């Protein structure tokens, strides 16, 4: 487990009309503050990686399809510096993953449909000065194989 990463198991509440799932609440232990909420999608077999934020914490939840989420701790002062995490996110095992600043992350669509991810980061996106540092998904020193 990478230091500072938090995982919250989520509960789906079904009834005859459909389903409800609380993702993030202001009274959750892992809640810090609200920046914005957005959704992003990934097509089957596509990798959206690697990037990290210097300021914001991301809070990811997959609400359709299934993704493989990869994390890499690039913080030299961290007790888990250099470690990776590899997990799957979907509605079958719903969870919220909270990713601290300076931890590289990305995901891959791993089912035969477009997957949908909700993110509730702690900061609003700054269009003129994005808080984002990127690496190529495959050409880097991170010991993580997206081809699996």
DSSP for residue 105: E
CATH number at residue 81: 2.60.120.10
Given a cut of 90, is residue 103 above it in pLDDT?
yes
Of all residues in the chain, the percent with pLDDT exceeding 90 is 99
- CA pair distance 124, 15, nearest whole angstrom: 34
In a domain, 63, yes or no: yes
Number of compact structural domains in the chain: 1
Give me the mean pLDDT over the 70-83 stretch: 98
Sequence-distant (≥ 6) Cβ neighbours of residue 77 within 8 angstroms: none
Measure Cα distances from 94 to 26, 68, 117, 145 in Å.
Answer: 19, 13, 12, 24
- CA pair distance 34, 132, nearest whole angstrom: 18
| Domain limits for position 53 | 6-13+39-134
In a domain, 30, yes or no: no
pLDDT band at 141 (very low <50, low <70, confident <90, very high): very high
For residue range 34-76, list pLDDT tens digits in order. Answer: 999 999 999 999 999 999 999 999 999 999 999 999 999 999 9
């Amino acid at each position: 487990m990478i230091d500072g990463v938090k995982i919250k198991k989520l509960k789906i509440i079904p009834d005859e009309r459909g389903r409800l799932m609380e993702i993030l609440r202001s009274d959750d232990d892992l809640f810090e503050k609200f920046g914005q909420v957005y959704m992003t999608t990934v097509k089957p077999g596509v990798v959206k990686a690697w990037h990290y934020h210097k300021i914001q914490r991301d809070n990811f939840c997959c609400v359709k399809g299934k993704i493989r989420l990869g994390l890499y701790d690039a913080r030299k002062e961290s007790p888990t510096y250099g470690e990776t995490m590899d997990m799957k996110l979907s509605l079958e095992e719903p969870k919220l993953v909270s990713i601290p600043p300076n931890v590289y992350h990305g995901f891959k669509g791993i089912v035969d449909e477009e997957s949908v991810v909700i993110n509730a980061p702690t900061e609003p996106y700054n269009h003129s000065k994005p808080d984002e540092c990127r690496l190529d998904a495959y050409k880097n020193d991170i010991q993580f194989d997206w081809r699996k």
